[in-house]
Amino acid sequence: MYTQEHIYRLSLTRIPDLGSILTKYLIEHFGSATAIFRAKPKELAAIDGIGEYRANQIKQFKNHSEAERELSLIVEKNIQLLFITDEHYPKKLRNCADAPLVLFYKGNAGLNHNKIVSIIGTRHHTDYGRWATEQIIRELQPYQVTVISGLAYGIDAIAHKTALQQQMNTVGVLAHGFKTIYPGLHQSLANEMMHRGGLLTEFLFNELPDRHHFPKRNRIVAGMSDATIIIETAVKGGSMITADLAFQYNRDVFALPGRINDTKSSGCLQLIAENKATPFIHTSGFLETMGWMETRKKKTVEKKLFYDLSPEEQIILSLLQQQTQMHIDDIYLQSKLSSSVLAAAILNLELQNIIIQLPGKYYKVN
């Protein structure tokens, strides 16, 4: 259940011209959202940066019904509301000046784990980028690292899938509300992540993806992590925004070196040249820099010889075994499975490391 304080907390995010930084000042001064709405105009106006205009905006705000509807909806959907003063709000993110007042979270991974790494990169990765992402995460597995990314095509999805394969917690930060998953092909992946990890966003349930939302999403990815690793990106790629934010937040930033004539590595090389990122040469060097070398857990290796596959997974595997590789559209046509069943079956095969995705939405048996 939610209280009047929860309603006021969410309402604070809807007041025009207030913003998270000034609202945090108000919270620090008055102690609660309820106290802010009950304060006299003169008390509000006296706060540095508020003044008479913003004080009136607060006092004139009456549309608390929107917050009530939102809270009813997230309670129904088992989504957790995290206010910036809450114990479970990401503490590293809270220390950033532009941290969102409110987050919505669905999952079972703690957001204050002592080892959180963001792994991000281009949507149009190379084989080298895929290999590096998978290798880095496999080598981080013994150190109980939580992997953060943006649930996008390419490196983000590879990072999430590999973390799930390695039984690691992974959290996807969304640029929209929980009503939809973008891209839609990642719905099955998102469902799997909510069972081992979670999904996190600052956007209301019904808010759709918008190009202005992605930089906001990136600051959460950067702010809640101890370190950010850039795998591949062009100079003007979205990952460069995240890297710059992580650098501004005084987080450790690492970039995977690549060929100087490869545009997909040009952003990484620029970050290294500008001393904004440390070259990621090997995982042991990364672990030593982070001070995590002594936290390794014992790992028992078991090779799975036989897989218990569903009929749908068997159909897909049989098709792939007959070809060197197949495009997702050809698998869809030949398998005669619905798109949702196909996506779920392919994800399960990937998580079991039976098949792997290649650039251009091709798949092959691993």
Contact between residue 155 and residue 133 where contact means Cβ atoms under 8 Å apart: yes
pLDDT of residue 59: 93
Please state which of the ranges 32-41, 98-107, 171-180, 354-363 shows the lowest mean pLDDT. 354-363
Decide which of 3.40.30.10, 1.10.490.10, 1.10.3720.10, 1.10.10.10 is the CATH code for 311-365: 1.10.10.10
Task: Catalogue the E-assigned strands of 268-319.
Answer: 278-279
Residue 301 has pLDDT above 60, yes or no: no
pLDDT, tens only, 181-219: 999 999 999 999 998 899 999 999 999 999 999 999 999
Q: How many CB atoms are located within 10 Å of the residue 120 CB? A: 31
Decide which of 3.20.20.140, 3.50.50.60, 3.40.50.450, 3.40.50.10330 is the CATH code for 116-295: 3.40.50.450
Q: How far apart are CA 235 and CA 264, in angstroms?
A: 8
For 145, 157, 188, 232, the CA distances from 267, given in Å and listed in that order, are 25, 20, 31, 7
pLDDT, tens only, 320-347: 888 878 888 889 888 888 888 888 888 8
pLDDT, tens only, 29-59: 999 999 999 999 999 999 888 999 999 999 9
User: Which CATH number does 1-76 carry?
Assistant: 1.10.150.20
